[in-house]
């Protein structure tokens, strides 16, 4: 009798283990894996709202709005290479002589890494240049956000200006150094 009970218990335990293994992938399929890049969906829409809040704060010279988007640990690297912290960004916004400053950002991809999100996108920045003439700058950005108190705060920003090819720009000639796996014996010069 004890032997039958032990065999029945062993059979029940193995069946429940097999059932648990088969039901685990179904539960995982509902939630996306960490680190997955999303180009559409709720993540892109969610971070587009955050980027829109950032743009609205800059365009409206709204100190409080900018404080709600930037982390106290924020480090920003401008397209010119200038490195600024959160308080410097806010001070520049308030003390800016350039009243034409405006920015628009569009989210392209979002990578979720737990409580961290890496957001890539494009931006259009309108401002006065060094000579006082208006400048329209287009580029790409990478923003790193961290979840804090049910909201997202930007901890790092990197901007890169897109190079514009003008009518006087000649196409660059390819050199052998740019070709992959250049072997002089097999490559025609």
* Cβ proximity of 76 and 84 under 8 Å: yes
Higher pLDDT, 43 or 28: 43
CB-count burial class (<10 Å; 0-12, 13-18, 19+) for 43: buried
DSSP state of 74: E
User: Which of 11-15, 26-30, 53-57, 127-131 has the least mean pLDDT?
Assistant: 26-30
CB-based contacts of 129: which residues, under 8 Å, 6+ apart?
A: 135
Domain layout of the chain by residue ranges: 38-161
Handedness of CA 56, 79, 146, 87 (dihedral sign): negative
Cβ(41)–Cβ(112) below 8 Å: no
Query: Which has more pLDDT, 6 or 130?
Result: 130
Q: Write the pLDDT tens digit of every residue in 140-171.
A: 999 999 999 999 999 999 999 998 766 666 66
Assigned fold of 38-161: Nuclear Transport Factor 2; Chain: A, (3.10.450)
pTM for the predicted model, two decimal places: 0.67
Nearest-angstrom CA–CA distance, 165 and 143: 26
Query: Tens digit of pLDDT for each residue in 107-128?
Result: 999 999 999 999 999 999 988 8
């Amino acid at each position: 009798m004890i032997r039958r009970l032990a065999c029945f218990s062993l059979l029940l335990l193995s069946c429940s283990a097999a059932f648990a293994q088969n039901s685990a992938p179904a539960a995982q399929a509902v939630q996306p894996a960490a680190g997955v890049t999303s180009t559409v969906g709720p993540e892109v829409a969610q971070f587009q709202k955050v980027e829109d809040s950032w743009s609205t704060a800059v365009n409206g010279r709204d100190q409080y709005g900018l404080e709600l988007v930037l982390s106290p640990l924020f480090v920003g690297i401008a397209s010119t290479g200038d490195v600024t912290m959160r308080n410097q960004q806010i001070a520049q916004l308030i003390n800016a002589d350039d009243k034409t400053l405006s920015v628009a950002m569009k989210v392209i991809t979002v990578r979720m890494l737990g409580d961290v999100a890496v957001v890539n996108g494009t931006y259009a920045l309108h401002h006065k240049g060094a000579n006082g003439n208006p400048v329209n700058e287009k580029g790409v950005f990478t923003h790193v956000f961290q979840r804090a108190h049910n909201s997202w705060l930007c901890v790092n920003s990197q901007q890169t200006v897109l190079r514009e090819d003008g009518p006087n720009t000649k196409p660059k000639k390819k050199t052998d150094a740019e070709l992959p796996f250049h072997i002089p014996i097999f490559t025609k010069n």
